[in-house]
Amino acid sequence: MTTVAVIDFETTGLSPQMGDRATEIAIVMLEGDQVVDRYQSLMNAGVRISSFIEAYTGISNAMIGAAPTASQVMAEASRFVAGRPMAAHNASFDRRFWMAELARIGQPATQAFACTLLLSRRLYPQAPNYRLGSLAAFHALPTSGRAHRAMADAEVAAALLGRLRSDLRSQFNVPDPRHALLMKLQACTRKALSKAIEKHLAQA
């Protein structure tokens, strides 16, 4: 059974290439569709949080000042993931920060990222939009904690990934929607979804 690490970052901005840094990380470990472990920590990267970001995430400069260093947290997070495939909502964002923060401590970041946002666009054309909170409401997924805090968002993304897998089983007769298939489906167009699944089943 494939284990997937579902990740969420809170950050000081949108782009590590522009000097933005991570302020919090959370990882929910899924074995099949069951949560089997979690990791969460604030991190101090030595970068000041703007008042806008503080209001958005609820993470203050005082909280970061008391947090462990970014290098310590990312080393722990890398050991926790241990090379497993990963997933996130709007994965291109989290993957950028995952790669950038690990590069700062000389750690590789080769994990394949599945994206619950892209997959939702393929499977749920009737959804009102593809923000994580909107999809949680659309599917009546359980939520806890404050949105835009890493663990709360990682938990919802993990629940959404479980729902995506469940719907691939029930609606498309995919008995075991593994990570490699999710990667293929998120890269195809909505029109090509059924054909991609048919091809996968024929080769299975």
- The whole-model pTM stands at 0.96
Domain holding 189, by residue range, is 3-203
Neighbours of 122 (CB within 10 A): 19
Q: What is the CATH number of the domain that holds 100?
A: 3.30.420.10
Q: Indicate if the pLDDT at residue 147 is higher than 90.
A: no
Interatomic CA distance for residues 95 and 59, integer angstroms: 21
Question: What would the pLDDT profile of 61-90 be if each residue is shown by its tens digit?
Answer: 999 999 999 999 999 999 999 989 999 999
Total of domains in the chain:
1
Paired with 115 in beta bridges are: 88
Whole-number pLDDT of residue 15: 96
Interatomic CA distance for residues 136 and 62, integer angstroms: 31
Question: What would the pLDDT profile of 99-143 be if each residue is shown by its tens digit?
Answer: 999 999 999 999 999 999 999 999 999 999 999 999 999 999 998
Question: What would the pLDDT profile of 152-164 be if each residue is shown by its tens digit?
Answer: 999 999 999 999 9
The string of DSSP letters for 164-178 reads HHHHHHHHH--S---
